């Protein structure tokens, strides 16, 4: 008997990675059109949680107009004698994974960036209430994280209620992030790793240190430690640092060893504090991208919420595509907002002295952590909308990068790399192949290719004529 027999659609790992396009969606929850949206987990006392309770505040799925977009929040309260507050971040991160197990229900991003869609097909099959989503979440939490003894879930769609709890949630996220600030990577002997995103990026392993927050910005070193303690065989695990190979780049023998094992040999070395050489891999749910701008020999930064094109004419989505997939791409680096607050932020590349452009809203969030003398020398979309305008701005303000221009001609020095196995080009949970009248589904398949050639068939046909 299936654990989900009372759910009108299928639930399983095979649906992870399923994308719901606009034309196929019944309704969209949160996403770029909504400022206030959130998912939040809070640990409560055993007597404060009514196990199994699901509440919907505002219109339910069946009450929303087809094709609509609504404000959205998920608020989960958990309790258990072994559940400590430090677990909130990792329990919260599982919302992404569990929602994506539901057929025709897509969940992207995390915390204040969530973006969900229900497909028309699943809605027609009967997925027309948040109650079903709540039931799936509760069953998965209880079976996967047995230390959770009680759980209750509230879905919010009423705009004023979403905004009210979103404001509180933003303060809670900030308090969680602030906890590890001031700690140094050198002071601990264990880092933590996370492979939750391998369903989308099979070779990706997040290395979470006190001074390099996870890419998604939702799992801190403290969260990693708490999770590895209660669920050591889970997707968040301890990484003994091992021998320090290079303090400047942040290369550790223990990190290399674990990443090699967890990426199945796809990634052999990691330099934690740089975007060149052997940078930390980027999955797909990073909060922002640091992208190299060769014309000025500096980095731009763009975050997920930036709706315009960046200074090099490309939007976040295009830059994210160049970065994602669990690869190590020189000059394209997935990062969290919190990592920008770290003293080790891209330290090998010059840190903030190498950043030349970023959205004004990100600058606002992190400016206290930038060296004072450089804050006004970094352009935003208000000062530079093209690389030419950027060059002029940097010269006029005397950005430290200008000295680099004088010192040497602008060029990208490619690091010499050892031969590494081909990078997986697909890591879908289920890859369907139709052959000879049979449909074969490769579950959790990793397909490797040394080279991918995409050819326009029409052109080939024309040549033959």
Binding site for ligand SF4 (CB under 6 A): 93, 194-197, 206, 214-216, 218-219, 283, 285
User: Could you tell me the smallest distance in angstroms from the CB atom of residue 97 to ligand SF4?
Assistant: 8
Order across the sheet with 332-335: list the strands. Answer: 332-335, 288-293, 298-303, 355-357
Query: Both tokens of residue 59?
Result: 């219109």
Nearer CB in complex with ligand SF4: 7/228: 228
Nearer CB in complex with ligand SF4: 237/393: 237
Nearer CB in complex with ligand SF4: 215/342: 215
Rounded CA gap, 303 and 320, in Å?
9
User: Could you tell me the smallest distance in angstroms from the CB atom of residue 126 to ligand SF4?
Assistant: 30
Angle between helices 88-100 and 130-144 (to 10 degrees): 120
User: Could you tell me the smallest distance in angstroms from the CB atom of residue 235 to ligand SF4?
Assistant: 7
Nearer CB in complex with ligand SF4: 55/190: 190
User: Could you tell me the smallest distance in angstroms from the CB atom of residue 195 to ligand SF4?
Assistant: 6
User: Among 237, 255, 115, which residue's Cα sits nearest to residue 185?
Assistant: 255
Rounded CA gap, 324 and 314, in Å?
15
User: Could you tell me the smallest distance in angstroms from the CB atom of residue 213 to ligand SF4?
Assistant: 9
Do 329 and 282 form a contact (C-beta atoms < 8 A)? yes
Q: How many CB atoms lie within 10 A of CB 458?
A: 8
Nearer CB in complex with ligand SF4: 262/399: 262
Do 176 and 163 form a contact (C-beta atoms < 8 A)? no
Nearer CB in complex with ligand SF4: 34/227: 227
**Distance from CA of residue 215 to its chain's centroid?**
5
User: Could you tell me the smallest distance in angstroms from the CB atom of residue 214 to ligand SF4?
Assistant: 3
User: Could you tell me the smallest distance in angstroms from the CB atom of residue 10 to ligand SF4?
Assistant: 24
User: Could you tell me the smallest distance in angstroms from the CB atom of residue 197 to ligand SF4?
Assistant: 3
Handedness of CA 104, 202, 217, 82 (dihedral sign): positive
Nearer CB in complex with ligand SF4: 92/383: 92
Do 296 and 285 form a contact (C-beta atoms < 8 A)? no
- Describe the chain by its helix, strand, coil percentages, rounded to 5: 35, 25, 45
Nearer CB in complex with ligand SF4: 107/354: 107
Convert 146-185 to b/e letters by CB count within 10 Å (16 or more is b). eebebbbbbbbbeeebbbebbeebeebbeebbebbeeeeb
């Amino acid at each position: 008997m299936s654990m989900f027999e009372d759910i009108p659609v299928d639930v399983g790992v095979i649906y992870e990675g399923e994308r719901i396009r606009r034309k196929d969606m019944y309704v969209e929850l949160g996403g770029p059109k909504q400022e206030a949206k959130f998912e939040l987990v809070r640990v409560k006392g055993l007597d404060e949680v009514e196990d199994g309770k699901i509440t919907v505040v505002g219109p339910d799925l069946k009450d929303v107009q087809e094709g609509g977009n609504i404000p959205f929040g998920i608020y989960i309260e958990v309790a258990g004698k072994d559940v400590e507050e430090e677990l909130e971040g990792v329990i919260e991160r599982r919302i992404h994974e569990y929602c994506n197990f539901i057929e025709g229900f897509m969940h992207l991003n995390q915390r204040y960036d969530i973006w969900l869609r229900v497909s028309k097909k699943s809605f027609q099959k009967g997925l027309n209430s948040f109650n079903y989503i709540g039931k799936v979440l509760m069953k998965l939490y209880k079976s996967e994280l047995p230390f959770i003894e009680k759980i209750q879930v509230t879905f919010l769609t009423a705009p004023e209620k979403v905004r009210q709890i979103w404001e509180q949630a933003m303060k809670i996220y900030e308090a969680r992030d602030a906890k590890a600030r001031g700690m140094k990577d050198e002071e601990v002997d264990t880092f933590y790793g996370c492979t939750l995103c391998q369903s989308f990026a099979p070779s990706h392993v997040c290395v979470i240190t006190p001074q390099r927050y996870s890419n998604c910005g939702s799992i801190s070193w403290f969260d990693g430690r708490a999770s590895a303690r209660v669920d050591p065989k889970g997707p968040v695990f301890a990484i003994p640092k091992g021998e320090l190979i290079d303090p400047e780049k942040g290369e550790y023998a223990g990190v290399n060893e674990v990443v090699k094992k967890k990426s199945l040999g796809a990634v052999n070395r990691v330099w934690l504090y740089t975007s060149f050489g052997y940078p930390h891999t980027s999955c797909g749910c990073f909060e922002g991208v640091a992208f190299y701008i060769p014309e000025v020999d500096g980095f731009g930064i763009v975050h997920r919420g930036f709706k315009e094109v960046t200074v090099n004419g490309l939007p976040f989505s295009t830059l994210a595509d160049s970065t994602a997939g669990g690869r190590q791409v020189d000059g394209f680096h997935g990062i969290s907002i919190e990592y920008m607050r770290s003293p080790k932020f891209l330290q090998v590349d010059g840190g903030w002295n190498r950043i030349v452009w970023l959205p004004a809203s990100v600058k606002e969030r992190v400016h206290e952590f930038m060296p004072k003398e450089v804050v006004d020398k970094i352009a935003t979309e208000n000062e530079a909308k093209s690389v030419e305008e950027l060059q002029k701005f940097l010269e006029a303000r005397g950005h430290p990068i200008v000295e680099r221009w004088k010192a040497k001609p602008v060029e990208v020095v490619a690091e010499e790399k050892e031969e590494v196995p081909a990078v997986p080009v697909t890591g879908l949970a289920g890859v369907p192949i139709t052959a000879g009248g049979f449909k074969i589904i490769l579950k959790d398949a990793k397909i490797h290719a040394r080279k991918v050639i995409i050819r326009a068939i029409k052109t080939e046909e024309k040549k033959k004529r």
